[in-house]
Amino acid sequence: MLLAISLTISTNSPARGLELPVSTPNVPLRSSAYVTMYQIQNNSTDASPWILYPASNKTVLVVTIKLGHVIQSQIVNFTMGVPPKPIATLNNTIPTDIVYDHFTKNNAKRVWIIENDTLAYYNQEAREFKTAVSFPGGAPQYMTIDPSDHFWITLFNTDQIVEYNPTRGNSSSYTTPTPNAGLQGIAVSPVDNSTWFAEAYAGKIGHLTCKASACAITEYDPPPSLRIQGIIQVAVDKNGIVWFTIHSGNEFGSFNPSTGDWNLFPIGYCSDSYVADCWVGLPNAISLDSEGRVWFSEHYAGRIARYDPNDSTLVEYMMPTASAVCRSACTPYAWWMWPGKDDKVWFTAFGLGEIGYVNASLPIPFNVTSESSIVVPQGGSTKISVSTKYSAGPPPSLSASVAYQDTSSNPPMISFSVGLERFFASNSTASSTLTVFAGWNATTGPRNIAVTAYNENVTVNTFVKVDVIACTPHLWTCATSFGLYTTVGFAGGISSVGLMVLGMNLYRQRRRNGGSPRSAED
């Protein structure tokens, strides 16, 4: 599913076609307390919603796409309380990005899209569609607008970042040092107005800075312990930290250019009872709201996620799994999302033929807590306590999630099992035990796992830093960042496992030729 929408149709000027049918009733559909849905697609043969951008507190501009022998796309004006209205129809094109031009002074009410090899716009006042600039063979992917109203665009085929000035109508391009970088998402930093972008194939983050008339690109590699091939979208917060999503696994993360620190997090636990194999995740669109919280879509998992850097909590909102175009057991396919006004975070669910929004102002009636960090020896395990406190309804279930790069090997480098959940009605709490296993093949060093409390509508996650240390079983010693320790030295740090028990466990693991226990949940 990596880069599933990164397609280029060979046509110089897409023909304008007849309007495609869209759903006429504009009433909220049944969903949950947190998520409100609206039907856009009438039946499975109609165009489905793929990308959108909030134009106001009630209006969202949606791009619908109908695949087939003749590909048809449409820009739809969706305003709450009013039937959806198509405003432009395009043939032989798959738009990959859309922006409503909030900031320009002279381009009011223009809707900008990337289609085929062009940046184009629809002028809502003049009701006309025009091409602004073309990039023959460039395959433009995504765009962002800086405070000077300049557009910055990634070109997939030519490894270039393009700056386009709509006032003067001129453009400049800058080539990445790495060829075949696979350029994807792009964002402007609120700190210094520099530009950051994703290199999906290279597994790097790029940074374009301009001084006077000269611009330069610097590329940042993650440390060897992290793999970010498939990085697809980026966003930059007020502290200059770059947030990103990885569309080849189940991870999102951050890079702090001031300190050089990288962090990678898995999405929360996702049950097959919601969407089959939704643990795959495939995070995609990412942005920040006015409070500095990080929002992103979980494309395959069908959830909209919110990460708060202030308390390191991840909340994930689930969608319905049935609609007018898919009657039951549907995968929502949450390709795109974008925060809007009034605490509404808008998203598309093309598997349901719907758009919707998350009401970010509503509190979640439960939490989850656990240890913040643990040490696990290669071939060993560590137990931690997990608890949740809830204020309404039945208690949530408890589980965990591990990053794809730690589970993609055979055997997996990191796995887990969840103990029996115990409930205490007197104080509305529940608790369990999570056992984290590290295989003999696990790379040493820290990584994050998600500890999840969840119900049928939402998940709440906290993260535990798991530091895997190297062990020599026949010597009963393990290496940590503080030096070499015997098993006596670290026994207390791994859930008070006794010396003899630990020694026998390590011996048995070695006899099993590096076998690693798998998750009881799996």
| Chosen CATH of 369-511 out of 2.60.40.10, 3.40.50.300, 3.30.420.40, 3.20.20.60 | 2.60.40.10
* pLDDT (tens digit per residue) in 212-236: 779 999 999 999 999 999 999 999 9
* pLDDT (tens digit per residue) in 30-77: 678 899 999 999 888 899 999 999 999 999 999 999 998 889 999 999
Inter-CA distances, 272 with 211, 257, 277, 281, 473, Å: 51, 38, 6, 12, 37
Structure letter (DSSP) for residue 509: H
Residue 356 and residue 337: Cα distance in Å, rounded?
9
- Model confidence, pTM: 0.88
Helix or strand or coil: residue 269? coil
Q: What is the pLDDT of residue 24?
A: 53
Ranges of each domain in the chain: 37-128+295-305+316-362, 135-266, 369-511
Q: What is the pLDDT of residue 15?
A: 43
Q: How many helices (H) and strands (E) does the chain have?
A: 3, 39
Q: What's the CA dihedral at 35, 36, 39, 44 to 10 degrees?
A: 10
Q: What is the pLDDT of residue 327?
A: 86
- Say if CB 451 and CB 370 are below 8 A apart: yes
Per-residue b or e along 396-418, where b marks 16 or more CB atoms closer than 10 Å to that residue's CB: bbbbbbbbbbbbeeebbbbbbbb
- Say if CB 394 and CB 419 are below 8 A apart: no
Q: Of all residues in the chain, what percent carry a pLDDT higher than 90?
A: 74
Q: Which amino acid is at 412?
A: P
Q: Counting Cβ atoms within 10 Å, is residue 491 exposed (0-12), middle (13-18) or buried (19+)?
A: middle
Q: What is the pLDDT of residue 125?
A: 81
**135-266, CATH topology level:** Methylamine Dehydrogenase; Chain H (2.130.10)
Q: What is the pLDDT of residue 512?
A: 43
Run means of pLDDT, 10 residues per run, the chain, 522 residues: 40 49 64 91 91 94 93 94 91 93 64 95 88 97 95 98 94 97 98 98 97 92 94 98 98 98 98 94 97 97 97 97 90 97 96 96 96 96 97 93 96 97 91 97 97 97 98 64 43 34 40 40 42
Sequential DSSP letters for 28-54 = PBS--SSEEEEE--SSTTS-EEEEEEE
